[in-house]
Structure 1
Amino acid sequence: MDTEISTPIQFKKKAPKPKGRITTFFISLYDIHKFILRFFKEAFVPPFEFKEIVRQCYEVGVRSFTLISLTGFIVGLIFTKQSRPSLGQFGATSWLPSLVSIAIMRALAPLVTALIAAGKVGSSIGAELGSMRVTEQIDAMEVSGTKPFKFLVCTRVLATTLTIPILATYTGFIAILGGYVNVATNEGTSYSTYMQQVFDPLTFIDFTASLIKSIVFGFTIGIVGSYQGYNSTKGTEGVGKAANGAVVTAMFLIFIEEIVIVQITSWFR
């Protein structure tokens, strides 16, 4: 008696449809939203990594001190030199210290500091966390029972949020000194007279807006760099993309935040 061997019917699996750009964009927004919420959930819950926060503040602040000092001085010097011919046409070179202080304290100091930090600190955070991700160091920390997110992400974001305002304030004063060098060389203005003219037009709103900008910029640099590095993939190529994405995205967001904060503060003037 012949026996027939029945072969199971094989169904071909349908290949998943490629996600569109719009779908990928909204998925990325959702992931970023979860990442930020996770930061606020874990950053202010004990145990706190004070030693790591202090170390990261050192990495962000002290390691950027020389570059910030040189850039701030050059910005004040060049801005004063470029503004003199325009004011000289109207015989208003005496207004130069006031113009320098308003431009630097309201816009240039926080913005220049944030852009430098985005290039130096943001790329460093993205590359460091990205290399830890692709070498599975973060996975090993999760398996061992530690909290890598709190130790790696929260400390870096808090460090940039705390340190960037200090660097921005320092940059502002260094830029004002750079302006003084140019003004004293051309007009012979004394230091006390120059400083009095610098601080006369500034108001409490100017200092407050500059501080808020610096805090927002610092948080943006830290959270963008940490997100790019913490979620990097594809080996060494992913590390490079994480560092590059941290810089480009942070700079783009800094300009957007600058526009929004300037618009909001203008309502209170």
Structure 2
Amino acid sequence: MPRKIDAASGLSLWFQRLGAAGLLAGQTFLHILNGKIHRRNTLEQMSIVGPESLTIALITAAFVGMVFTIQVAREFIFFGAGSFVGGVLSLALTRELAPVLTAVVVAGRVGSAFAAEIGTMRVTEQIDALYILKTDPIDYLVIPRVIACSLMLPLLTIISLVTGLLGGLLISDSLYGVSYSLFLQSAQNFLQTWDLISSMLKSLIFGILIAIIGCSWGLTTTGGAKGVGQSTTTAVVTSLLAIFVANFFLSWLMFQGTGNVEIG
């Protein structure tokens, strides 16, 4: 019986925090529209989200591109369609893999840091001190993180996309004999401008979700050090869930209907 009660209370708290995150998102955008942007904090957070996340994003993208190519190339070559390898990889990376996997990396690394840092500030009453100093935590803490994630995640996605394509290009040529020129020509034939735009839009939305959830879970932390740990864990899990759910609906909206790839 106690476990059922704990589970029910935990689920109730999760929904309460989800509602708080929605409210925080609305307040954040209103403050941004009013020009309440702390520039120094924003630049600092951009450095944390972007350059400091670059290495793990590059490694992830490179190996995902290589593994995807291994799985796709062998089957395509078996059916005599080796010329499609570059195009299929470029579409998969641009539309889905690069934005989603980059967001997952950032959620695990940066989203958890947001929740832990702000959660620690909450339980040590530093948030209350900001109010005493007549400083709004949304302006000082939340907006810089939202702007940093929304700007840097698309840039990380572009770099991850290029890295994944290079990894796939290397594997295609070295293991399956698909030449560089054939691979790149296939990618050029398959990719369209809308694919790149949709990838950037996805990354922008994922970045906002990661920042809002991480900050909201941090601001609603209670219970000392244990509460900070729980907030950090649930913030990451919720961010990942939000990324996957949002990705489904965004893909459904962006890529309805039949394909329009130029094969010739």
What letter is aligned with 2:170? V
Partner of 1:101: 90
TM-score (norm. length: structure 1): 0.87
What letter is aligned with 2:189? D
Relative distance call for 1:20 and 1:136 in structure 2 (3 A) is closer
Matched, 1:85 2:74: yes
Give the conservation status (yes or no) of the 8 Å contact 2:118–2:219.
yes
Give the conservation status (yes or no) of the 8 Å contact 2:116–2:231.
yes
- Deviation for aligned residue 1:85: 2.1
Matched, 1:168 2:178: no
- Deviation for aligned residue 1:261: 0.8
Partner of 1:215: 204
Partner of 2:102: 113
Identical residues among aligned pairs (%): 33
What SS does structure 2 have at the residue aligned with 1:127? Answer: helix
- Note the residue ranges of structure 1 that are not aligned, 5 or more in a row: 1-18
Partner of 1:159: 148
Matched, 1:178 2:149: no
- Deviation for aligned residue 1:187: 4.4
Distance 2:139 2:124 in 1: 19
Relative distance call for 1:67 and 1:149 in structure 2 (3 A) is same
Partner of 2:187: 198
- Note the residue ranges of structure 2 that are not aligned, 5 or more in a row: 1-7, 259-264
Matched, 1:51 2:40: yes
What SS does structure 2 have at the residue aligned with 1:200? Answer: helix
Larger radius of gyration: 1
Partner of 1:124: 113
Relative distance call for 1:226 and 1:256 in structure 2 (3 A) is same
Distance 1:23 1:47 in 2: 33
Relative distance call for 1:58 and 1:103 in structure 2 (3 A) is same
Query: Larger deviation: 192-201 or 115-124?
Result: 192-201
Give the conservation status (yes or no) of the 8 Å contact 2:89–2:168.
yes
Distance 1:93 1:111 in 2: 26
Query: Larger deviation: 234-243 or 25-34?
Result: 25-34
Higher helix share: 2
Relative distance call for 1:33 and 1:95 in structure 2 (3 A) is closer
Distance 1:50 1:114 in 2: 24
Give the conservation status (yes or no) of the 8 Å contact 2:17–2:216.
no
* 1:146 counterpart (111, 126, 135): 135
